[in-house]
C-alpha cells in the first residue's frame, strides 16, 4: 500500500485483508497453513512522513519506478523480494492498494493492459479471480464487475514500470497481479468500509487459491 503516499485508504484495506487472514474462520486457518503473505503497509515512507501527496512525484512516481534502476530504495527492496518469490514459483497473487480519483464511487481493479488480447490459462486466471472478487467484495463497497485499464499512463515505457505490470510480465499464467483502487469519496469510504473491502479481497484470494 501507499505507493501514493496520500492514499491512506489503501493501508486500511490492507489491514482488513490481514485481519481476515489472522481470524478464526476455517478458510483463514487453511489459507495460513498453505500460504505465506507479505504486506507492505507504507511504500513511500518519506512522503507519508512529510504529509506529501506522492502521486506524480519528482523525480518519479513511486508506482512508476519499477524498472532495472529504481530511484527509491523501497522499490528496489520490494522488487528483490518479489523476484525471489517468482524465481522459486511461489508468487500467486500480487495486489497494489490505492485510492482513485474523486469521481470514482465504487472500488475497481486496474487489470492487465493486454486483457482483451489474452487467451488460454492466463485469461482464465484473470476472469476467475474477478468473478470471485465480485462474489466476496460486496457490502458496503461492491467491486466493479469488470476490469478498468490505466490508459492515463500514455507510453509503453512508462506502463512497463508500473508495479502491477512489472510483476505480471514476470509471472506465469497461474498468477494474478492487480491494482485495487478503493473509492474514497463515498459515504462508505470510512475505516470500517475499507476494512470490509480488504476482508472481501482476502476471502476471494483464499477461494481462488483453494481451486
Ligand atoms: Zn494511487
Distance in Å, CA 171 to ligand 1 centroid: 22
**DSSP H or E segment with residue 49:** helix 45-50
Q: By percentage, how much of the chain surpasses pLDDT 70?
A: 100
Decide if 150 is inside a domain: yes
Q: What is the pLDDT of residues 17-28, one digit of tens each?
A: 999 999 999 999
Sheet holding 108-110, edge to edge: 93-98, 176-181, 108-110
Average pLDDT, the chain: 96
> Is residue 111 one of the residues assigned to a domain?
yes
Ligand 1 centroid to Cα of residue 29, in Å, is 31
Q: How confident is the model at residue 135 (pLDDT cuts 50, 70, 90)?
A: very high
Q: Average of pLDDT values for 169-175? A: 94
Structural domain contains residue 44: yes
Number of compact structural domains in the chain: 1
Q: How far is the CA of 188 from the centre of ligand 1 (A)?
A: 19
What pLDDT shows up at residue 35? 97
- 2 within domain boundaries: no
Can you give the pLDDT at residue 30? Answer: 98
Q: What is the pLDDT of residue 40?
A: 96
Cβ atoms 123, 131 nearer than 8 A: no
Give the pLDDT of residue 94.
Answer: 98
pLDDT tens digits for range 38-74: 999 999 999 999 999 999 999 999 999 999 999 999 9
Which of 8, 80, 85 is closest to 44 using CA atoms? 8
Please tell me the predicted confidence (pLDDT) of residue 204. 98
The whole-number pLDDT of residue 205 equals 98
Supply the CATH number for residue 145's domain: 3.40.630.10
pLDDT of 61 reads 95
Inside any domain, residue 4: no
Question: What pLDDT is attached to residue 151?
Answer: 92
- Residue-wise pLDDT for 68-114, tens only, equals 999 999 999 999 999 999 999 999 999 999 999 999 999 999 999 99
Residue 1 within any structural domain of the chain: no
**Domain assignment of residue 150, given as a range:** 9-210
Ligand 1 center to 3 CA (angstroms): 7
C-alpha cell at 80: 528483490
Give distance in angstroms: CA of 121 to centre of ligand 1: 29
What's the rounded Cα separation, in Å, for the pair 6 and 180?
A: 15
**Mean pLDDT in residue range 108-135:** 96
In a domain, 120, yes or no: yes
Distances (CA, A) of 162 to 48, 88, 113, 198: 20, 23, 11, 22
In a domain, 3, yes or no: no
Amino acid at each position: 500500500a501507499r505507493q501514493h503516499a496520500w492514499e491512506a485508504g489503501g493501508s486500511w484495506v490492507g489491514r482488513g485483508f490481514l485481519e481476515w487472514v489472522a481470524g478464526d474462520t476455517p478458510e483463514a486457518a487453511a489459507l495460513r497453513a498453505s500460504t505465506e503473505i507479505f504486506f507492505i503497509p507504507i511504500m513511500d515512507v518519506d512522503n507519508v512522513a512529510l504529509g506529501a501527496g506522492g502521486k506524480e512525484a519528482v523525480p518519479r512516481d513511486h508506482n512508476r519506478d519499477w524498472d532495472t534502476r529504481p530511484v527509491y530504495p523501497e522499490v528496489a527492496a520490494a522488487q528483490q523480494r518479489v523476484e525471489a518469490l517468482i524465481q522459486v514459483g511461489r508468487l500467486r497473487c500480487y495486489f497494489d492498494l490505492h485510492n482513485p480519483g474523486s469521481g470514482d464511487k465504487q472500488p475497481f481493479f486496474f487489470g492487465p493492459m493486454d486483457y482483451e488480447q489474452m487467451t488460454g490459462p492466463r485469461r482464465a486466471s484473470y476472469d476467475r479471480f474477478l468473478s470471485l472478487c465480485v462474489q466476496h467484495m460486496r457490502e458496503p463497497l461492491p467491486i466493479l464487475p469488470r476490469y478498468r485499464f490505466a490508459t492515463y499512463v500514455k507510453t509503453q515505457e512508462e506502463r512497463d514500470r508500473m508495479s502491477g505490470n512489472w510483476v505480471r510480465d514476470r509471472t506465469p499464467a497461474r498468477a494474478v497481479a492487480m491494482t485495487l483502487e478503493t473509492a474514497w469519496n463515498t459515504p462508505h469510504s470510512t475505516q470500517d468500509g475499507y476494512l470490509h473491502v480488504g476482508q472481501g479481497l482476502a476471502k476471494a484470494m483464499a477461494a481462488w487459491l483453494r481451486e
